[in-house]
Structure 1
């Protein structure tokens, strides 16, 4: 059984910014600080990886703050069905996984949360697409290279890729030019020089 996830769902979450922030392991106070930085430059979609009780507290706090800003936060590194329901209880609006697991994807979609699984091969893209997922995470993007996006967009023109892993302000544009619909960044948010460039990217319409 497939669960169609229209491309517009993640397009709506991203808004007009083809940039998503991943805030891993910073703790609640610093994550809230970086979230506000992201929101201030137009990045409206944030992922908080959920791997510990500390992360759970952070996710809940950021989800509450995001709601007040009209933004969204999702839970990353979701590896099993139990984590899906836990993420939902903390206020997550979507889930992200490092790989494609149909059971996790189904649980997330059934809970009303768009799901973004990681893919690194044509086979994984094919299976995720057949399942009904329109947005996929190209991971690890820096190892795959921007040319991977171009190559996979040829046989799968309807799939939208979020380039994730090793993305910074210096290579983000390469992946967007190659055909990625968005890029996901982490530590670049704490670098003023990179943040300024990401701000420019985030104000560019994604075209999704």
Structure 2
């Protein structure tokens, strides 16, 4: 399983941060129902791990895979795997976490914010990278980094909403990591409208 399988054709990676398990399952199903979204749950608290487990179980029932986000320690890789995650996501690039995640059978999406970050991640074998924080970097960053790194697939994450989503896709982002917009009432509908031609 690679990010080509997990995110290709899915311009939305919904980040369900701090959402109770029942609500997370409800939101995840709504995201999957759009046909254009994948789901990630950051695992910074025990409640978040429980929510990941619930969403992974719900996803398994419909053939959907779920990621664990904000994985910043090697120990969290095991927690993510045991909770049913199919991939891991981090705010930055750490080769030890990358290695642990791959060893656990989960592709890893590391965060990058500079050309050096991208170069190190590419050297380590990563082709899909999380551009974070995307709103601070801006769409132009993605367009310009594609010059020296044409094969990198960026997932723009951080500060993305219905108002700027299209600009990031037009700049070359393959997918968009979106958090608070997805979890607020009506936000998912607005995003889908912005992401669907």
Structure-2-length-normalised TM-score = 0.94
Find the aligned partners of 1:201 and 1:10 in 2 and give their Cα distance: 23
* 8 A Cα contact 1:27 1:55, kept in partner: yes
Please list every run of 5 or more consecutive structure 1 residues that lacks an aligned counterpart in the other structure.
1-7
Residue 38 of structure 1 is matched in structure 2 by 31
Deviation at 1:188, TM superposition (A): 1.8
- For each residue in 1:50-103, what CA deviation from the matched residue of structure 2 results, as whole angstroms up to 9, or x when unmatched? 011101110100000011121111100101111101110110000000100000
Query: What is the root-mean-square deviation in Å for CA atoms of aligned residues?
Result: 1.7
The whole-number CA distance in structure 2 between the counterparts of 1:118 and 1:17 is: 19
Q: How far apart, in 2, do the equivalents of 1:199 and 1:162 lie?
A: 17
- Aligned match of 1:53 in 46, 71, 75? 46
Cα displacement (A) at 1:197: 4.1
1:132 maps to 2:125: yes
Of 1, 7, 16 in structure 2, the residue corresponding to residue 23 of structure 1 is 16
SS of residue in 1 equivalent to 2:3: helix
Q: How much does 1:48 deviate? A: 0.2
Structure 2: segments with no counterpart, 5+ residues: none
Q: Equivalent residue of 1:70, what SS?
A: coil
2:178 and 2:190 map into 1 onto residues whose CA distance is 12
In structure 2, the partner of 1:145 is 138
CA contact (8 A) 1:23 1:49 kept: yes
Q: Which runs of 4+ in 1 moved over 3 A?
A: 190-194, 200-204
- Measure the CA separation in 1 of the matches of 2:17 and 2:66: 13
Partner of 1:122: 115
Aligned to 1:154, which of 131, 147, 151?
A: 147
The answer as to whether partners of 1:16 and 1:203 remain within 8 angstroms in 2 is: no
Cα distance in 2 for residues equivalent to 1:190 and 1:24: 8
Relative to the length of structure 1, the TM-score reads 0.89
Figure out how many residues of one structure are paired with residues of the other and give that number.
197
